Amino acid sequence: MNSPLDTKLSTALGGRTAGAFERGLGLRTVGDLLNHYPRRYARRGELTALAELEVDTSVTIVAEVLSVTSRSMKARKGSIFEVRISDGHGILTLTFFNQKWRENELKPGVRGIFAGKVGEYRGLRQLAHPDYELFDTELPTEGAAAKRWALQPISIYPATATVASWQIAKAVGVVLDTLPPLEDPVPELVRDERQLVPYAKALEMIHRPEKDADWGAARASLRFQEAFVLQAALLRQRAALRERPAIARIAGRIAEGFDAALPFRLTADQQLVGEEIARDLAAQTPMNRLVQGEVGSGKTLVALRAMLAVADSGGQSALLAPTEVLAAQHLRSIVKTLGPDLAARLRPTLITGQLSTAERKKALLASVSGGASIVIGTHALLSDTVSFVDLGLVVVDEQHRFGVEQREALRLKGATPPHVLVLTATPIPRTVAMTVFGDLDVSTIAELPSGRLPIRSFVVPLAEKPGWVNRVWQRTAEELALGRQAFVVCPAIDAAVSEPADAPENDVPEARAATATSAAAAGPAAAPVANVTEVTASLQANPALAGRRIEALHGRMPSDTKDLLMREFAAGRIDVLVATTVIEVGVDVPNASTMVILDADRFGVSQLHQLRGRVGRGRVPGVCLFVTRAEQESLARERVEAVAATLDGFDLAQIDLELRREGDVLGSMQSGGRSSLRLLRVATDGQLISDARELAAGVLEHDPALSEHPALLGALARRLDESEQAFLAKA
């Protein structure tokens, strides 16, 4: 039985209005509209501070008409009707062309809501042809009734140039007035325990509040409902994964021999996580585990030991890496770690998009025949041409560079459900782990191997100290004089590139978006963005670096060229590597001691932490210089200084979450859909998310199929967009 929330807007509002709402806001059903909550609340008696409005921003404001004038245009036929509105302090001009009739509505003393894009004409701010809705002047002007009228909250909605806030409010009013009774997706026992407002009443109170306490209580109840439904979805997905049988993979002679030959002791964290993985692999239900760990904590070794346990049972493992540089390095590292005999037996094989035809045929044959026990690759592994005899383990390295769809596409290549191990060197706050990765068991490697030296980090503030840039290259030269090497990272490839310089192979959208967001947060640059092409030429001509071999590396280069440059750098034959974020993850050159990040404010917190982790990986101390033109006390500068102040990735993950808007959960980043978070904020709602998960688990324990909770089952279907439903169906 369909819920009233599934009713098409065309049925509820008519085709013309519904079409405008779908085109402008992406709203298709009654549920979509009622979930489009007000972003703030204004009052009729409260004016907007006009001095705070920024040019080129779309605004919805409450103001009073001061005066109106009409004049003829000089250059052509017609008239200009101008209205001056005020908040009691500042003044904004409304401009209408050939619409003198508006003087019958817009009279001095009238108040209303005005919406448009702030422009500037002759130094004065204005709204050209704004939309507006005037307050009813016939309502009481004295006594208690007038006070209630003046103080009643007015819902201000996220709007567009084609759909104004008050149009949304009117449509919501029509829907609420005709809405049949709604069942509550949160069970009554849970609702009572949390003292929540019933669902239908909460919708009324958030859209048409009588007082501020109404929308406050409604938001609290709807926020919990959002967390509860989300956690129920994740927990059902997790349970569904575990219902399908998997092949138990138990470590034997290969894995035991490898462990015995290791020339060092595993850290306590590596041992603990290894035991957790071994238990998962030995079970006949698929492992679905996330291993998060600091840069250089040894996650790849833990994953390799899991691959060997799978090889012991005759199975294959697939390792998915985000870039060709990292995939090739994984191959070299695994071959070296295995040793010649074991490497020859297991035949680690590389599959990437830039292999020659002959190399690709050879690699595909090794995979499909089972000759390769370990297959390493980029997005090319997801191709229909890649298949396996017995895929027992999927390892996804740097999960934040992929979406859930890629993980699932590889997992579905197994004849029986393979075990899945997800690695990330971007530490994840607990609340994010419960949401974005709520279907995974989480293990943590916080301990670094012995002998790792701390990295010293410094901010080079060119906004206040422009001359310090010379000291950056002198400091680099001093490190090179000690026989060490340096990375120099730029946000762009060349001056013509205004978009992010590098992304995972096939240009994964989320990586592009993350870098674009970082650039936007930095604000307008005082100088052109540093790019690999120009910086390489500049350093090659710098007297402080005379005689040094300085090379460029970026994602547009052919695979062979990138691989050769990394080999040369690893061998010590290149002194300075000027690169984009193609070296952000996994690149391991123990002799590299210096990391210079130019325009550091153009990168996110996790990117800066990852880049810093490329140095100090051997027996030489590391130094990282964050070069920035961002002004003091700006958000961009605050981000850079936060990274420089600590080496603790888990602290930085929380700082990152608090500094930025936390993106989507089960939405664009994780499965390709539009944003699904509405009221829930993982940066601040940690305890609420934890409580919701516990209560949802209790409901599912007693009613796994939710046969006794049809409203919750319906909410799960509505909560997930089409791509999310497709993803969950694969589970």
Backbone angles phi, psi at 64, to 5 degrees: -120, 140
Domains and CATH numbers, the chain: 1-39+165-180 (no CATH), 41-156 (2.40.50.140), 185-243+684-731 (no CATH), 253-445 (3.40.50.300), 455-659 (3.40.50.300)
Q: Which pLDDT belongs to residue 77?
A: 81
DSSP for 543-601? Answer: GGGTT--EEEE-TTS-HHHHHHHHHHHHTT--SEEEE-GGGSSS---TTEEEEEETTGG
**DSSP letter, residue 721:** -
Give the C-alpha distances (Å, rounded to integers) separating 335 from 318, 350, 406, 566, 658: 15, 11, 25, 16, 41
Q: How far is Cα 512 from Cα 218, in angstroms, rounded to an integer?
A: 36
Backbone angles phi, psi at 387, to 5 degrees: -140, 165
Axis crossing angle, helix 605-612 with helix 509-522, rounded to the nearest 10: 100
Burial 517-526 (b: 16+ CB within 10 A, else e): ebbebbeeee
5-55 pLDDT, tens digit each: 989 999 999 999 999 999 989 999 999 999 999 988 877 656 666 777 777
Q: Which pLDDT belongs to residue 138?
A: 56
Q: pTM (2 decimals)? A: 0.66
Q: How far is Cα 638 from Cα 109, in angstroms, rounded to an integer?
A: 44
Give the tokens for residue 574.
Answer: 């290149």
Q: How far is Cα 428 from Cα 432, in angstroms, rounded to an integer?
A: 6
Q: Which pLDDT belongs to residue 399?
A: 59
Q: Which pLDDT belongs to residue 179?
A: 92
Whether 628 and 637 have beta carbons less than 8 Å apart is answered as: yes
Q: Which pLDDT belongs to residue 537?
A: 96
**pLDDT by 10-residue block (mean), the chain, 731 residues:** 85 92 91 92 69 74 86 80 82 85 84 82 79 68 58 83 85 94 93 94 95 93 93 86 87 92 89 95 91 82 95 95 85 92 95 89 95 94 92 84 72 90 77 67 80 85 92 96 96 69 37 38 59 95 95 88 88 94 76 95 87 85 94 88 86 71 41 56 80 92 92 82 42 35
**DSSP letter, residue 467:** T
Backbone angles phi, psi at 204, to 5 degrees: -65, -45
Q: Which pLDDT belongs to residue 670?
A: 40
Q: Which pLDDT belongs to residue 513?
A: 34
Whether 439 and 237 have beta carbons less than 8 Å apart is answered as: yes
Closest of 696, 634, 654, 528 to residue 189, by C-alpha: 696
Check the CA dihedral 434-440-443-444 and report its sign.
negative
Q: Which pLDDT belongs to residue 438?
A: 65
| % helix, strand, coil for the chain, step of 5 | 45, 20, 40
Whether 718 and 5 have beta carbons less than 8 Å apart is answered as: yes
Closest of 500, 496, 476 to residue 486, by C-alpha: 476
Q: Which pLDDT belongs to residue 391?
A: 96
Give the tokens for residue 435.
Answer: 């949401």
Cβ contacts of 4-7, under 8 Å, gap ≥ 24: 4/30, 4/179, 4/180, 4/182, 5/29, 5/30, 5/31, 5/34, 5/182, 5/714, 5/718, 6/30, 6/31, 6/718
Check the CA dihedral 371-372-378-384 and report its sign.
positive
Whether 289 and 442 have beta carbons less than 8 Å apart is answered as: yes
Q: Which pLDDT belongs to residue 87?
A: 74
Q: Which pLDDT belongs to residue 313?
A: 92
